[in-house]
Chains A and B, each alone.
Chain A
């Protein structure tokens, strides 16, 4: 399927979707969003690109393998349980640090976010793996 419109749209949409997926991932703890939806967005950015340019070219343009991305996600999710053990608490107990705080703005980072990052990569990797093998024929 050769379509100039789709090609131009896909190459412009890809960076946008990637940035948007990170935003959705970060806001997910307290508002709608999160790792799963973010992961779907990240995956769909590359799937859109693959629909326009073909799977081979997409795989060349990215420097990772979808299976490894899934594995990385699982590792990160697993690692998010470990800080609790270091603090002497039960596995997966949430740990938080406040990086930046004043009256207007507060930046808190914690292990639930790290877990979400793991979900993000796992979902994106799995989605890409499935869709690439369907698109590839």
Chain B
């Protein structure tokens, strides 16, 4: 019953913000208030699901294979909590960073539109409905990335919109083939049907189209090129929101699909996914190492880190999947945090290009620490959560005897450290280049938001034990989908 709220709360907030879009102050405060409310609700949802198991709601009283089912298992609710936390941080950050024109041109309603789409994608149990939530999410992100309409933004958004449309075409085509083959689009019903099929049923064509669609949206090799070409163009608060939520929806969907549909032809997909994961990790991190714009380095890092998550999926043991879930949560926090810290750098010295930055450690140690924490966490230095995420993934890899991918994961960690140290050396450590000022004012709201996020990264490292316990439970539900299927179909 309450499962509809992650969708209708953002909708309600969006409408309120639409009506009041001219009054800046109200928007700013209501944005923070609403996102806190959303966060509290999703935490409550997570605790409830931890206690009582998978939560199911049949919208409009149409039972499972016929109507649209909403399902939240532990993975969904973990993602819901993380997304709304990232949303809250961005809401606190935005008033101090985004210019007034953008703020009154519908920025706040659009962010809640995006959150509604993301939440919907996390809790829907129906493939066509999933497509609709993807579109809700993408439509909001199209407007957000072009909002303000500077030439650079429009250049970036054309690439972004085009490639995402192509992905949507693949998505719909796959839905069509699947529906023609199976006659149902309810995920649980479909999975139950598939288990009765013979092993050579030609379903991989549809699954491959799905895979291409999702790997475009989550920027896997070889479909990653749109991300670094577009993510650096909007104001960095928007980039941070995208980095923290959008690609991870693609990753989440792959987990859900793999767990429900792929299991019965696992050999083919396992090798395929592990190969792509390895390539994604390496290529992403190597391309990041050659960049000089902070935003571009971080954008390429998103790609490399998605490789880790997909690696956990390819291993597909409880330990591997739990590691991947832990890593995804950590990544949503740390990635957003590094982008927000780059926004602080921008406020302080007016640019993102490493060649024209320097001396920020001396100018403001607080700024340096706020970058240092998530950067080290991304590189995997203990006791920060990035270390535990990688540790569990690599441990899972060894236990499943996947040595090559594990070796690649370790090497990628070194390169990640290298490019984080590069940002650190160039922007914070070296002397201020001539003609560059580091005396810009940093808005307190941006500082507070980044500090809360950095604090939460540290806390996640300290309380890694309890968090990984929850992730292990979530992974058990993913590896064994019978609980999910019987919860939805009621048998």
Contacts and interface: CB of A to CB of B under 8 A. Distances in A.
A68 B57 CA distance: 31
Interface string A73-89: 01100100100100001
Nearest to A68: B19
Interface stretch (A10-18, A33-41, A52-60, A90-98): A90-98
Contacts of A74: 11, 14-15, 18
Contacts of B60: 84, 90-94
A21 interface: no
Given A67-B21, A78-B8, A91 B15 contact: no
Contacts of A91: 1, 4, 8, 57, 59-60
Contacts of B14: 74
B12 interface: yes
Interface string B1-28: 1001000100110110011010000000
Contacts of B15: 71, 74-75, 78
A67 B58 CA distance: 32
A68 B18 contact: yes
Contacts of A78: 8, 11-12, 15
B61 interface: yes
- Chain B: interface size category: 10 to 19
A90 B14 CA distance: 23
Interface in B450-480: none
Interface in B43-100: 57-61
B60 to A, nearest CB: 4
Contacts of B11: 74, 78
B89 to A, nearest CB: 26
A84 B11 CA distance: 18
B4 A70 contact: no
A70 B8 CA distance: 16
A134 to B, nearest CB: 15
B61 A70 contact: no
B396 to A, nearest CB: 39
A74 B8 CA distance: 10
Contacts, number: 41
A116 B441 CA distance: 50
A49 to B, nearest CB: 24
Residue among B11, B57, B61 having the largest count of chain A Cβ atoms under 10 Å:
B61
B18 A92 contact: no
B58 A90 contact: yes
Nearest to A89: B61
B1 to A, nearest CB: 7
B217 to A, nearest CB: 24
A93 B60 CA distance: 4
B359 to A, nearest CB: 45
Interface in B433-461: none
Contact of B1 (A71, A75, A90, A94): A90
A112 to B, nearest CB: 9
A81 B12 CA distance: 13
Residue among A68, A78, A89, A92 having the largest count of chain B Cβ atoms under 10 Å:
A92
A91 B15 CA distance: 19
Contacts of A89: 61
Residue among A84, A91, A92 having the largest count of chain B Cβ atoms under 10 Å:
A91
A67 B110 CA distance: 13
Nearest to A70: B18
Contacts of B21: 67
Residue among B14, B18, B21, B106 having the largest count of chain A Cβ atoms under 10 Å:
B18
A81 B9 CA distance: 13
A67 B61 contact: no
A92 B19 contact: no
B84 to A, nearest CB: 19
B59 A90 contact: yes
B7 to A, nearest CB: 10
A39 to B, nearest CB: 17
A71 B114 CA distance: 16
A92 B12 contact: no
Contacts of B1: 90-91
Nearest to B17: A71
A112 B251 CA distance: 35
Contacts of A70: 18
A56 B462 CA distance: 60
Interface of A: 67-68, 70-71, 74-75, 78, 81, 84, 89-94
Report, nearest first, the 4 A-B pairs whose CB atoms are least far apart: A71-B18, A92-B60, A93-B61, A71-B15
Interface of B: 1, 4, 8, 11-12, 14-15, 18-19, 21, 57-61, 106
Given A81-B8, A90-B59, 11 more contacts: A68-B19, A70-B18, A74-B15, A74-B18, A75-B15, A84-B60, A90-B57, A90-B58, A90-B61, A91-B8, A91-B60
17 contacts: A67-B18, A68-B18, A70-B18, A71-B18, A74-B11, A74-B14, A74-B18, A75-B15, A78-B12, A78-B15, A81-B4, A89-B61, A90-B60, A90-B61, A91-B8, A91-B57, A92-B59
